[in-house]
Amino acid sequence: MSALSIATAKEVFELLRDDLAAIEQEFTRQSASDIDVITDIAQYLMAGGGKRIRPLLLLLSSKALGCTSHSRIRLGAVVEMLHTATLVHDDIIDEADTRRGRPSSNTTWGNAKCVLAGDWLYMQSFSTALEERNFRVLELLISLTQQMVEGELLQMQKLGHLINEEEYFDLIYRKTACLFSVSMQLGAAISGTSDETESQLGEYGRNLGLAFQIVDDVLDLTAAEDILGKPVASDLREGKATLAVIHALERGTGADREAIRTVLAERSFTTVSHPEILEILERHGSIAYAMDTACAYAEAARLSIADLPLTEAKRALLWVPGFVTSRDR
């Protein structure tokens, strides 16, 4: 085995299996409320699966720095609670009917209850984090929450409008990559490491999160609905221009641009069909461009942790970017 060998999926699972199971138990304990509907919604979302990539990153970050305290389990549950709260609110904002192949929580319980359950989960995550008695942890979580809310509001302002790549990357940093970055930084914050190391780990999370969201956006356009677990091309139907679409808009013919603009404005495929949009994207190499960009960010994530000592956790961190860019859902 070479000094820079990347872990396998099996090795990563075995390395983190017990810790991830402990985080699931902690989430279940922390999300239990005297108000049954809160517990029901939280458990419904947890049972829906998901990649648990945010707590996984926190575990690997802390493990790479030698932290073995219960803090990594507690904060792993915190980041998953925060993520779950954002899913509840996102589904309401997007008027989504499905999530991971099942009815979305707002379809089952209604918007009013889900808004409040999401708010409760946010506050419970902070209450749990407060047990750390660590100001850096709170500082990271407060900044994260502000970034995510600002990202959602920015996206709502831009629905149906054309945006450039700079605006797109700003949006996906706030909505997705910021939580990846903070998950890595939290692992550093409970390990007592230097500001420089925390910054490097945060940069890994940022680059990985950007790659993750770009791939998500490509899959939204290209994946089969039964694999994706939700209707395909939801972003275009919601008026969101993602990286491949932006690329095609900048390089397409007048007719191409008009077709894309029509879908974004109508927020439907009534006038222009989904296959017609895919043909435009393929003709201009826009899907390949987006995937190449995601792979470049994935490689940047690997490079950002070059200075970390070689451990099983580092080998696992070197594996994650490949998992992010090769997934099909």
Pairwise CA distance, residues 26 & 76, whole Å? 9
User: Mean of the pLDDT values across residues 35-56?
Assistant: 90
Residue 225 has pLDDT above 90, yes or no: no
Residue 1 has pLDDT above 70, yes or no: no
Question: Residue 171: what residue type?
Answer: L
pLDDT the model gives residue 5:
81
pLDDT the model gives residue 2:
41
CA angle in degrees (0–180, nearest 5) for 261-262-263: 95
Residue 175 has pLDDT above 80, yes or no: yes
Mean pLDDT of the chain: 94
Helix, strand and coil percent figures for the chain, each rounded to 5: 75, 0, 25
Using an 8 Å Cβ cutoff, are 186 and 61 in contact? Answer: yes
Residue 229 has pLDDT above 80, yes or no: no
Higher-confidence residue: 133 or 225?
133
Split at pLDDT 50, 70, 90, the class of 4 is low
Reported as a single tens digit per residue, the pLDDT across 270-285 is 999 999 999 999 999 9
pLDDT the model gives residue 99:
81
Pairwise CA distance, residues 246 & 168, whole Å? 9
Q: What is the pTM of this model?
A: 0.94
Share of the chain above pLDDT 90, in %: 88
Split at pLDDT 50, 70, 90, the class of 228 is confident
For residue 316, give the H/E element and its range: helix 312-326
pLDDT the model gives residue 191:
96
How does DSSP assign 251-296, residue by residue? HS-HHHHHHHHHHHHHTSSSSS-HHHHHHHHHHTTHHHHHHHHHHH
How does DSSP assign 167-236, residue by residue? HHHHHHIIIIIHHHHHHHHHHHHTTT--HHHHHHHHHHHHHHHHHHHHHHHHHHHHS-HHHHTS-TTHHH
Reported as a single tens digit per residue, the pLDDT across 279-307 is 999 999 999 999 999 999 999 999 999 99
Pairwise CA distance, residues 239 & 161, whole Å? 7
Residue 106 has pLDDT above 60, yes or no: yes
Residue 58 has pLDDT above 50, yes or no: yes
User: Mean of the pLDDT values across residues 262-269?
Assistant: 94
Enter the tokens of residue 42. Answer: 């939280």
- Identify the structural domains of the chain with CATH numbers, from first to last: 9-326 (1.10.600.10)
